[in-house]
Amino acid sequence: MSAGPNLKGFWQAQQLRAPRMKQDNADPFHRNLEEALDVKRKQSSLYAIIPCQWKTGAAIDFTSNDTLSLGATGALRKEFDKEMAALPSDPIGASGSRIVDGNSEYMELVEQEIAAFHGAETSLILASGFEANIAIFSAIPRPGDVIVYDEFVHASMYDGMERTLAVEKIPFKHNDADALRHVLENLVDTNPLIRQGKKCVIIALESVYSMDGDVCPLKELVDVANESLPLRNKAFIVDEAHSAGLMGAKGEGLVSMLGLEKDVAVRVHAVSKAIGVSGAVVMGSQTIRTAIINLARNVIFSTAVSLPVVAGIRASYNLMKRGETRENLANLQRLVHHFHATIINHPSYQRALDASIISIPLFEDWADRDFQTHVIPVWTPNQDHLFLAYHLNLAGFSSFPVEYPVVPKGQGRVRLAFHADNTLEQVEGLVKSVMEWAEEMLRIEEEGLQGEESLPWAARVVFGCLEEGVGVGA
């Protein structure tokens, strides 16, 4: 049996290269780089750009960001083509930075429409969510301000905070309102400028956390901040990458769904996830927009996004505004509900859970939640998430193992992402495959198997194929 191009490509990339380069007397510049990369290869964690199987129909998509399936179904392409057809003479490229030659009436129109859709004063289109967070954290906090952030915020926020002028950066326990209260009260007690309202606390959050799939208790956190900082010297920054297009009546996001537009100073909506294009939109006051344009070096010195990007964003928003994504949203909820119910009722699930073979933290109180997120991480002990990913990929389900440093050490998982065009049968097949793997791991553990026999079937298939083909063994 073939290990499949995805798995072969991945394992081929894990072969050490620096020793061979030393033997070949390669130049020190490249050899030193390969030595750094070999550190990741030894941990089987080197990323590789390999063919995407679900795009060719060779696998079922449970990994991509096309959550509403606007790309897979062709709905967005049709709307995009209409949008571009209405702009026959507009240049494709932006021709310069937004502050020089990169602006256009069309881009400003689209930004105004987006701001109105989300109940914001203004919006600003940028090249990516990562660029947006770099811009925000380098431009918005002022000297003497303090950033308080959820410990699980995205890497782009962490990188942005590396460039901040804020005097201090303090994490608080994930999604814990009491932990936020403790941090804020301590700041008021120990920092006279915060206590006097002369400097501000910037509170950074995500609406839906991308590796855990849980929703931010935003209303609780806003209430805590209002109580702890009565002088209003606070500002919330909420990254809505995984709620944009998915939460709210038409996909307006968590902030709008909760009616907290006036309580959140800055919102970042990555349009590369459910909205199905690329880029990001930063929403806030005119002051926020002006500050980013003038103080964020990565915006000042970057060419503005091109016409097709803006047209794609408008096309997707057209679909949302007309209510044409509502059925997608409803089907997505049905599918996630079905996954929860099916796997929990599997006869081996509780036994696998009790044995710590798998763990799905999102299952706690899932039936009582009004909204189910599309991201479901399946946690495993040790490095077993790699074995689960092999099993799912060999069964024809696109899946992605996540490990440190993307998640904390010892918290490896397989991140499943559901899509509106998945079917109930596909979800049932996914559950069947996950539980087949769990039952195999239970058997290995209960029988005390050792050596090669302790490896699950999929791992032996992958390693065996690679030993024959490229010399990579278990």
What is the pTM (predicted TM-score) of this model?
A: 0.93
239 and 117 assigned to the same domain:
yes
How many domains is the chain partitioned into structurally? Answer: 2
In this structure, are 295 and 341 located in the same domain? no
Read off the pLDDT band of 470 (50, 70, 90).
very low
Q: How confident is the model at residue 157 (pLDDT cuts 50, 70, 90)?
A: very high
Beta bridge partners of 416: 376
Same domain, 66 and 104: no
CA-based torsion, 219, 224, 230, 234: positive or negative:
negative
Name the percent of the chain lying above pLDDT 90. Answer: 79
The domain boundary, picked from 322, 337, 356, lies at 322
Q: What is the distance between the alpha carbons of residues 333 and 335, in angstroms, rounded to a whole number?
A: 5
pLDDT attached to residue 465: 60
Q: Given pLDDT bands bounded at 50, 70 and 90, which one contains residue 2?
A: very low
Report whether pLDDT(469) > 60: no
Residues 234-251 have pLDDT tens digits of 999 999 999 999 999 999
- Tokens 């990579």 belong to 472
Among residues 397, 116, 417, which one has the least CA distance to residue 242?
417
Whether residue 318 is found in the same domain as residue 331: no
pLDDT at residue 5, as a whole number: 53
Kindly state whether residues 317 and 331 are assigned to the same domain.
Answer: no
Instruction: Give the single-character DSSP code of 415.
Output: E
Collapsed DSSP state (helix, strand, coil) of residue 234: strand
Residue with tokens 């002369």, as numbered in its chain: 198
In the chain the first and final C-alpha atoms are separated, in Å, by 17
pLDDT score for 4 = 54
Please check whether residues 169 and 260 belong to one and the same domain: yes
When mean pLDDT is compared across 216-225, 411-420, 435-444, 454-463, the lowest value belongs to 454-463
pLDDT of residue 11: 76
pLDDT mean over 371-397: 92
* 226, 247: one domain: yes
- Look at strands 60-61 and 397-398 and give their pairing: parallel
Domain with 457 in it? 51-71+327-468
Give the Cα separation of 246 and 69 in Å (integer). Answer: 12
What one-character-per-residue DSSP string does 316-366 give?
HHHHHHTTTTHHHHHHHHHHHHHHHHHHHTSTTHHHHHHTTS-B-GGGTTG
What span, in angstroms and rounded, lies between the C-alpha atoms of 322 and 144? Answer: 45
| Better-scored residue on pLDDT, 408 or 221 | 221
The order of strands in the sheet holding 168-172 is: 122-126, 280-284, 266-270, 234-239, 201-206, 146-150, 168-172
pLDDT value of position 425: 98
Where a domain ends, among 295, 322, 349? 322
Q: What is the CATH number of the domain that holds 338?
A: 3.90.1150.10
**Residue 471 clears pLDDT 70, i.e. is over it:** no
Please indicate, yes or no, if residue 307 is contained in any of the structural domains. yes
In percent, how much of the chain has pLDDT > 70? Answer: 96
DSSP 433: H
Q: Are residues 172 and 290 in the same domain?
A: yes
Last residue of a domain, one of 285, 300, 322: 322
- For residues 262 and 222, state if they share a domain: yes
CB contact at 8 A, 179 and 201: no
pLDDT of residue 378: 95
pLDDT, average across residues 82-87? 97
Q: Range with the lowest mean pLDDT among 21-35, 172-186, 429-443?
A: 21-35
